[in-house]
Structure 1
Amino acid sequence: MPRPVLTNAIAELTREVEVMDERGRVSTIFIPAERPLTVYVDKRELVTLMTLGGAPEALTLGYLRNQRLVTSIDDIESVQVDWSVDAVAVKTRTGIANVEERTSKRVVTTGCGQGSVFGGLMDEVDKIVLPEDARLKQSVLYKIVDSIRTMKSIYKQAGSVHGCALFSAAGEVIYFVEDVGRHNAVDAIAGKMWLDDVRGEDKVFYTTGRLTSEMVIKGAQMGIPFLLSRSGTTQMGHMVADRLGMSLVARCTGTHFLLLTGKDRIIFEPQLLDGSLRVA
């Protein structure tokens, strides 16, 4: 089956604006761009996403994947983004079965910019099985956190965005995506994984935002057993991760972290227990 035909419609990621400080001094700064992207599937309007615009095709694919509206990348014929009308047209090979019924119920989540999921929030979660033997070394965790700290990003230039990254079991970055909402960034990574046929069972996911139920469920749907964040989690995010046996690691800064669930998956290394930072 041929891969989907894609545009490469990366938009301008920042804008320069004039500001005045508390002393009346005028200067210019960069701020993140934000634009609507209305998703049409087989000419039917589905949703409008507010996005930075850095990976609109991957975002669209990941959104369809994480909403469980499309189950295989082979079902997509094309994804065409046109920023002149702020829209993306998705053409499927056979259509989406029962699309009206499946998109009739929407849950607005705690994602920045009002994330949403179609259907019951917990639908099909109990069917997800993460690999039992997946393990992550403490030194690799430190390596990931340090890699994020030193990574070139829109956030360092302009602030006001969230970043998500996918890492290998050795702590090497595979994808890094920033967007105005963390739910968009995780969807874009899901889309990239789909396009590149990258599996998640030996991968580590990092987000700068909270580990909410939405983020945990999406990570699980991508088959990823490790979710890391420099922020915290929510009660429902904790509950879902615990049910799935996923390692939820919050407050990752420097050599500090809080391991909330999936404690048997993290390999603590005696030489690192004094807090010294030694990457793998």
Structure 2
Amino acid sequence: MRQAISFVLPTYNCHCVQLVETLCSQCHKVQATYGLDYEIVVADDCSTDRSYVTSNSVIERLDNVRYLKLEHNLGRSAVRNFLAREARYDWLVFIDGDLAVDKSDFVENYALSDGDVVVGGTAIGGDVKLWRNNLRYCYEKRCEPAHSAKQRMLLANREFRTTNFLVSRRAVIANPFDEAFKHYGYEDVLFGKQLTASGYAINHIDNPVLIDDYESNPVYMDKTEEACRTLIEFRKQLNGYSSLLSFSTTLVHWHLQPLYKLVYRIIGASLRRNLSGSNPKLSLFNIYRLLYTLSVWA
């Protein structure tokens, strides 16, 4: 039984009130049952849409909640290091602020879990009728079976994600997120690699947070391309931790990159139009990712 937990939530241009209220309610119940000490620390990473900062400010009225409004954007890695330093307790649960908790025993499961690093995973929610033509929703639903706790444990260190995990504070202080990662993608993968190299075993359990809202197809494609560029920029550090990177590296080694770049120049724009449109073909998504990755490989 963990005696005290800091729930730390980075937010950026998103609503987090319902998530924080749910965590507060569950923490109160676990405190009454087990004597858990807890706090919830939310850091808004200088959201560009200040209406989110205003609407989220109601959480300041909740017990054991701190809402930190940053004046300058730190970025995905640095804001997590900041939260680890701000936390008061020895155990941290990181949760992305735009997600939801729908498991009634979510907090209890983490309080009773074992290990220095515990990954809870994600569940894919939302009305299929509403999201059936949303690229991210379709992609996440297709991949969901491979992200069960049992499947994640097969490649425990490679399946680490920062979306929802528990970690000892000392592990983060000793192995901080690499703040060279300024853009979207893969900072969590490298963090998991660093933890493993430092001797921490990563345990995966079935304690997911819920994804039930999805960005538009054009926005998701922008994020996908940004992640591909991040992957290439940090390819030395991420070697062996991405199947896309491994396959791309092989094609470059075989001197096939010029061919794939030519194919991208011919059909890349049309593939992107389809994937960004109102009826995307999921079968084209990984093809586009590979072509785009090789097109920006330098």
TM-score bracket, normalised by the shorter chain, equals: under 0.3
After TM superposition, the score normalised by the length of structure 2 is 0.24
When you count strand as a share of all residues, which structure comes out higher?
1
When you count helix as a share of all residues, which structure comes out higher?
2
